[in-house]
């Protein structure tokens, strides 16, 4: 098929075929709209398992290189810029994951904000860092550019366009040291324009805290199964920042419906608001197709915020904002005044990691791992709690919401649960208005093994049954 010949000792057939098709699409050898052979025919031509071809097609479709039309076939996607530098395919380095038997008194932490760091590609990352420190010019050790390294901004611009459909220039991208710094920067930058923010209820606690410290008025807006109820914001309310996690709301896991997305955009335009889109964990989607960012509907009214803390490691301390052109000078001026910079060495290493196709590969690998753990958690939850508990918001990310039936368990006080060897977050911890939903908890499963997940759920079961007595 298209001259592909797998090489011995060059990585798996799956990775080789993915890399080969990427290179030929980016170079223009495979033109937009070209129909690829069916998975069955391709497998026969290449003398490989059909499952391999299916996996390759699905991966390249998820990355935006291919598009699938039901009943018609698989095609090279439109709109891909050709003649870019070819992607370097580096074989994955086998990583041994130490395993140990659970101890009875070992704390199981269902932290929702940490990825599985056992799978961080240490050797490849250290290779990039070593190359940069050995061969780059001396200024790599100096304070980095206030906007961020051009190499990383270029890599991000290509990535968000290819994978998410976000069109932006490198001038619109501002590198941050993570989501927290991004929100702090925006709080300072808009303080002379707005004094009001509209936040999801419930939401990530630090967001409201940052703006509260800057003396903004906080308006919590209820979230239901379709995301923030935009109609609860009146067109007559003061102009401000509307902060949304539309692709995977935290902690409910709901997705902002297209009707509410359009409603939010209309409201922003008519009432003079700006929307801050926190693209929380959207890479790890487990059900259905990826949800396009809200930014694609209104690039001039939406500030897009993202981080590599959940996809790679929080230790990198790298995130970014995509800011409308009319606001970049304002945000950059504030960033310069606050003297907020990010490690230049880390930025260059991350740029190479993305450009060489390894970030896509890591996402694909971790998505499969998290999806398997999510399924295991759901099965265990059903086996242990039966109809007494319901899993919600499990379509993406590394956490789920569990709601316990109040008629079975009553109001549960979660403050004592660490005595049973479990650390978790109750729903109340994310609510601005407390005490509304005492039977709900948030369980992060990203960094836990299946053994830890199962044992943790059994301990929760023991705890809530003890509380009933």
Residues 305-317 pLDDT 10s: 999 999 999 999 9
pLDDT recorded at residue 198: 97
Q: What percent of the chain shows pLDDT beyond 70?
A: 92
Pick from 296, 221, 256: which is nearest to 396 by CA? 256
Pick from 69, 59, 156, 113: which is nearest to 399 by CA? 113
Summarize the confidence of residues 431-435 as an average pLDDT. Answer: 78
| Residue 100, pLDDT above cutoff 70 | no
Residues 225 and 317 in one domain: yes
- How many domains does the structure of the chain reveal? 3
Residues 72 and 191 in one domain: no
User: pLDDT band at residue 118, thresholds of 50, 70 and 90?
Assistant: very high
Summarize the confidence of residues 396-412 as an average pLDDT. Answer: 85
pLDDT recorded at residue 98: 45
Q: Which of 324, 356, 388 is the last residue of a domain?
A: 356
User: pLDDT band at residue 95, thresholds of 50, 70 and 90?
Assistant: very low
Query: Residue 13 has which token pair?
Result: 């057939």
Q: In this structure, are strands 217-224 and 274-278 parallel, antiparallel, or unpaired?
A: unpaired
| Residue 229, pLDDT above cutoff 90 | yes
pLDDT recorded at residue 264: 96
Classify residue 370: in a domain, yes or no. Answer: yes
- Supply the CATH number for residue 311's domain: 3.40.640.10
Residues 345 and 418 in one domain: no
pLDDT recorded at residue 283: 80
Residues 207 and 347 in one domain: yes
Residues 401 and 308 in one domain: no
Residues 184 and 251 in one domain: yes
Range 129-136, long-range pairs (CB < 8 A, 24+ positions) = 129/345, 129/346, 129/349, 132/345, 132/348, 132/349, 133/345, 136/348
Range 132-140, long-range pairs (CB < 8 A, 24+ positions) = 132/345, 132/348, 132/349, 133/345, 136/348, 139/344, 140/344, 140/345, 140/348
Classify residue 84: in a domain, yes or no. Answer: no
Residues 342 and 392 in one domain: no
Residues 196 and 333 in one domain: yes
Measured distance between the N- and C-terminal CA atoms of the chain, rounded to whole angstroms: 67
Say if residue 450 is exposed, middle or buried (CB neighbours under 10 Å; 0-12, 13-18, 19+). Answer: middle
Residues 330 and 432 in one domain: no
pLDDT recorded at residue 439: 80
Residues 392 and 463 in one domain: yes
User: pLDDT band at residue 337, thresholds of 50, 70 and 90?
Assistant: very high
CA-based angle 34:35:40, to the nearest 5?
A: 150
Hey, is 307 helix, strand or coil?
A: strand
Pick from 91, 96, 101, 88: which is nearest to 119 by CA? 96
| Residue 30, pLDDT above cutoff 60 | yes
- Supply the CATH number for residue 23's domain: 1.10.10.10
Classify residue 265: in a domain, yes or no. Answer: yes
Summarize the confidence of residues 128-156 as an average pLDDT. Answer: 90
Residues recorded for the chain: 469
Classify residue 95: in a domain, yes or no. Answer: no
User: pLDDT band at residue 93, thresholds of 50, 70 and 90?
Assistant: very low
The Cβ of residue 280 has, within 10 Å, a number of other Cβ atoms equal to 23
Q: Which of 76, 94, 126 is the last residue of a domain?
A: 76
| Residue 165, pLDDT above cutoff 80 | yes
Domain that holds residue 367: 104-114+362-468
Q: Which of 307, 341, 356 is the last residue of a domain?
A: 356
Residues 341 and 373 in one domain: no
Classify residue 379: in a domain, yes or no. Answer: yes
Classify residue 128: in a domain, yes or no. Answer: no
pLDDT recorded at residue 91: 36
Pick from 191, 190, 154: which is nearest to 173 by CA? 154
Q: How far is CA 83 from CA 28, 67, 170, 309, 340, in A?
A: 7, 20, 19, 31, 35
User: pLDDT band at residue 96, thresholds of 50, 70 and 90?
Assistant: very low
């Amino acid at each position: 098929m298209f001259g592909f010949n797998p090489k011995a000792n060059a990585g798996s057939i799956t990775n080789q075929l993915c890399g080969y098709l990427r290179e030929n699409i980016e170079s223009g050898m495979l033109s937009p709209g070209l129909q690829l052979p069916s998975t069955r025919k391709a497998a026969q031509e290449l003398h490989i398992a059909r499952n391999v071809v299916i996996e390759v097609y699905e991966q390249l479709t998820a990355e935006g290189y291919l598009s699938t039309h039901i009943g018609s076939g698989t095609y090279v996607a439109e709109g891909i810029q050709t003649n870019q530098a070819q992607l370097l395919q580096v074989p994955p380095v086998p990583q041994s994951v130490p395993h140990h038997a659970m101890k009875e008194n070992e704390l199981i932490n269902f932290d929702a904000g940490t990825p599985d760091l056992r799978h961080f590609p240490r050797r490849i990352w250290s290779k990039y860092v070593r190359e940069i420190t050995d061969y780059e010019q001396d200024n790599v050790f100096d304070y980095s550019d206030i906007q961020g390294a051009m190499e990383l901004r270029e890599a991000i611009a290509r990535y968000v366009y290819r994978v998410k459909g976000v069109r932006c220039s490198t001038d619109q991208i501002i590198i941050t040291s993570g989501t927290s710094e991004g929100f702090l920067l925006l709080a300072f930058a808009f303080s002379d324009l707005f004094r009001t923010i509209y936040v999801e209820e419930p939401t990530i606690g630090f967001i409201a805290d940052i703006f509260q410290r800057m003396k903004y008025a906080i308006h919590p807006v209820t979230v239901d199964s379709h995301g923030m109820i935009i109609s609860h914001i009146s067109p007559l309310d003061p102009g401000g920042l509307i902060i949304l996690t539309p692709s995977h709301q935290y902690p409910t896991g709901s997705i902002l419906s297209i009707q509410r997305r359009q409603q939010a955009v209309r409201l922003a335009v008519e009432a003079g608001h700006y929307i801050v889109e926190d693209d929380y964990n959207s890479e790890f989607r487990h059900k259905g197709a990826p949800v396009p960012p809200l930014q694609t509907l209104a690039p001039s009214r939406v500030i897009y915020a993202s981080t590599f803390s959940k996809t790679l490691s929080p230790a990198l301390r790298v995130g970014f904002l995509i800011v409308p052109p009319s606001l970049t000078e304002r945000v950059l001026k504030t960033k310069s005044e606050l003297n907020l910079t990010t490690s230049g060495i880390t930025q260059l290493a991350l740029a190479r990691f993305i450009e060489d196709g390894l970030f896509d590969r890591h996402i694909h690998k971790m998505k499969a791992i998290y999806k398997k753990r999510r399924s295991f958690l759901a099965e265990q939850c059903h086996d242990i709690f039966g109809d007494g508990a319901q899993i919600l918001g499990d379509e993406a990310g590394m956490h789920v919401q569990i709601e316990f039936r109040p008629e079975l368990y009553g109001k549960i006080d979660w403050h004592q649960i660490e005595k049973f060897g479990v650390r978790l977050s109750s729903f109340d911890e994310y609510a601005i208005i407390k005490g509304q939903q005492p039977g709900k908890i948030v369980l992060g499963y990203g960094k836990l093994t299946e053994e830890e997940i199962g044992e943790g759920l059994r301990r929760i079961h023991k705890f809530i049954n003890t509380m009933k007595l």
